[in-house]
Chain A
Amino acid sequence: MTSSHLPEPALQAAAESLASLPSAQAAHLHACAQCQRQVALYRQLYVAAAQLPPPVFNFDLTAKVLAQLPRPPAKPAFTWALGLVAALVAGVVVVFTLVFGGALAQAMQGLFTVLGAGLGIGAAVLLAGQCLELVAQHRQRMRLLAFS
Chain B
Amino acid sequence: MKITLTWLAEFLDLGVLFEVDEAVRTGPSHPGVRQLVDAMNELGMVVEGVEHAPASLDGVVVAEVVSLEPIPGADKIRATLVNDGEGEPKSVVCGAWNFKVGDKVPWARPGVTLPTGMTLTERKMRGVVSLGMLCSPVEVGVSSEAGGLLILDPLTPPGVDFGAHFGLSDDIVFDLAIEANRPDANCVLGVARDLAAWLRIDFWSPEAPYSLEIIDDPKPSIDPEATDRLLIASLGGIETATFPLRLGRRLQLGGMRSISPVVDASNYVMLEIGQPTHPYDATSLGGGTIAARFARAGEEVVTLDGSTRALESSDIVIVDGNDQVVGLAGVMGGLATEVSDATTSVLLEAAHFPAGRIARTAKRLNARSEASARFERGTDPAILELAVTRIAELANLRIEGPIRCRIDAVRPAAPIEVRPARVGAILGHEPADELLNVLEPDGPLERIGFDIEQAGAIYRVTPPSFRPDVGSEIEVIEEIARHFGYQRITSTPLTVATTGGLTERQQLIRRLKQLLAGMGIFEAWSVTLVSPEERERTGGAGEPIELADPLVAQESELRQTLLAGLLRSLRTNVGRRLSPVALFEVGPVMQRWSVGGSMASDPSSEQNSLVQSALPNEGLRLGVLIEGAENSLVVIAPVLTAIERVFGLDGVLEVTGIDEELVGWPELHPGRRSQLRLGEKVVGVVGELHPRQIPDELIHLVEGRFGYLEMDFEALVASMHPIRRVEVPSVYTASTLDLSFAIRRDAPLEPLVDLIEEIAGELGADLGVFDRFRPTDDEEHLYVGLRLRLESDQGVITEGTVQSLIDTIDARAAALGAQLRRG
Q: Say whether A and B bind each other.
A: no
- Identify the B interface with A (CB < 8 A): none
- Identify the A interface with B (CB < 8 A): none
